[in-house]
Amino acid sequence: MDSKERNWLFLLVGVFLVFNIITLSPLIPWQKWLLWSSPEPDQRFFLEYADYQIRMPPEGMEVKVGEYVEFVAESKDVTYGFGVFRQDGSMVFQMQVPPGRESNILWKFAEPGLYDVRSTEYSGPRHSEMYYPDAISVTQ
C-alpha cells in the first residue's frame, strides 16, 4: 500500500467514524428517543396469533394520545404481521410476528381516532381475513 492509498483509507475511516458519531449521538433529536432512552410503557397489550386469527385483549385496546403503549405479539404457527392503519387506509406502523419468539413495539399515538389492525405479512390462504376494523381506540 503506498502513501496515497493509506491516506484515502484514513480519510474513509475518518468519514465513517464522524458520520456514525454524529448520527448516533443524542444531538440528533430522534436518536435521543430511539437509542438513549427506554421509556416505560403506560400500557401493554398482548396479541396472540394462531390459525389466521389474532386474539386481542377482550376488553379492547384503549389508548390516550401521547401515552406510551407497548404491543407484544406472539405467533403459535407461522409468520404474521401486526399492522396498524388509519381510517383512510394509510399505515401507522407495522412489525413482523415470526413464530417462536415475542415481538414487541413501543408506540405513542399522535392523533385520536379509531385504528384498524391487519396482518401485514402474507401468512397463507386465509391471510386476507386477518382484518380487525376499529381495533384500537385512541382518545385525547
**Contact between 123 and Cu ion (CB under 5 A)?**
yes
- Cα 43 from chain centre: 15
Which of 103/123 has CB closer to Cu ion?
A: 123
3 state SS for the chain = CCHHHHHHHHHHHHHHHHHHHHHHCCCCHHHHHHCCCCCCCCEEEEEEEECCEEECCCCCEEEECCCEEEEEEEECCCCEEEEEECCCCCEEEEEEECECCEEEEEEECCCCEEEEEECCCCCCCCHHHCEEEEEEEEEC
**Contact between 119 and Cu ion (CB under 5 A)?**
yes
Q: Which of 44, 64, 108, 127 binds Cu ion (CB under 5 A)?
A: 127
**Contact between 103 and Cu ion (CB under 5 A)?**
no
Which of 88/129 has CB closer to Cu ion?
A: 129
What residue type is 92 in one-letter code?
Answer: V
**Contact between 75 and Cu ion (CB under 5 A)?**
no
- Shortest approach of Cu ion to residue 132 CB, angstroms? 12
The mark string for 2-41 relative to Cu ion (x by CB under 5 A, - otherwise) is ----------------------------------------
Number of residues that bind Cu ion (CB under 5 A): 5
Which residues bind to Cu ion, rule: CB under 5 A?
80, 119, 123, 127, 130
